[in-house]
Amino acid sequence: MITINKRLLMLLLSTLLLACATTPMGRTQFNIMPDNEVRQMGLQAFTNLKQKTPISNDAGINQFVQCVASAITREVGGDWEVVVFQDDSLNAFALPGNKIGVHTGLARLVDNQDQLATVLGHEVAHVLSNHSSERMSQEYALQQSMSLIQAVAAPQSALGQTAMGLLGVGAQYGVLLPYSWLHESEADLYGLKLMAWAGFDPQQSIRLWQKMDQASKGQQPAEFLSTHPSHDTRIEDLQELMPEAMQLYQQALASGKRPNCRK
């Protein structure tokens, strides 16, 4: 006779097997969210942002951002909406549903098209890698697992106490944050390839993160408690992939891909 705990284990294993997907960088990911639902969430979120956040009417910044974004998205296909928001923070984002937002603070910080392409390549990489879907799948599975454990595990047993203790800690530091850190690192590396394919100089990605480090003025949180890799770690990882990225960049230049986006 199969016990309820064994039934639960079989159910969870079956769900994991059915929910396996692969990112563009070749990593296996857990994803149970329907694409159309995630896309609709992205569209609604972008609509809300446009209603609540001032949109920049600076013609120069808009032309610059649109030029860089067009070159990046041309490599991945689809129709993308790009909006420049009047906000001094150093931020940009991309949402499911092919939406890109760039804050004026970031557009002013970068020195050139290649540095902005570093950020936009990174953000588009998040979308193409289905990181939003994976993140939501993780949180949903975690919530369901905790509910099931509370329902079937004997809380007075040593195993039950250990399981709940691990889940309580893991929910904050052991499960979700490391996955988000992984997403950021993966987007860095895939984004580096995207910008190189589009004809942007990948070496400028190093300078961009150095500038971001300077702009943070030493206020960055400890890496193990952060959802972003430290700037030093980012630079080391990018340097490791740089030879491949430079080869892709040279191939792009040879094929005539030479963006000319003037700030």
Catalytic residues: 123
The rounded distance, in Å, linking the Cα atoms of 96 and 128 is 9
Specify whether the CB–CB gap between 139 and 180 falls below 8 A.
Answer: no
Angle between helices 204-216 and 113-128 (to 10 degrees): 90
Specify whether the CB–CB gap between 127 and 96 falls below 8 A.
Answer: yes
Specify whether the CB–CB gap between 130 and 31 falls below 8 A.
Answer: yes
> 43: closest CA among 112, 96, 88, 3?
96
Contacts of 230 (CB under 8 A, 6+ apart): 220, 223
Q: 28-53 burial by CB neighbour count: b if 16+ within 10 A, else e? A: ebebbbeeeebbebbbebbeebeeee
Amino acid at 178: P
Cα 251 from chain centroid (whole Å): 26
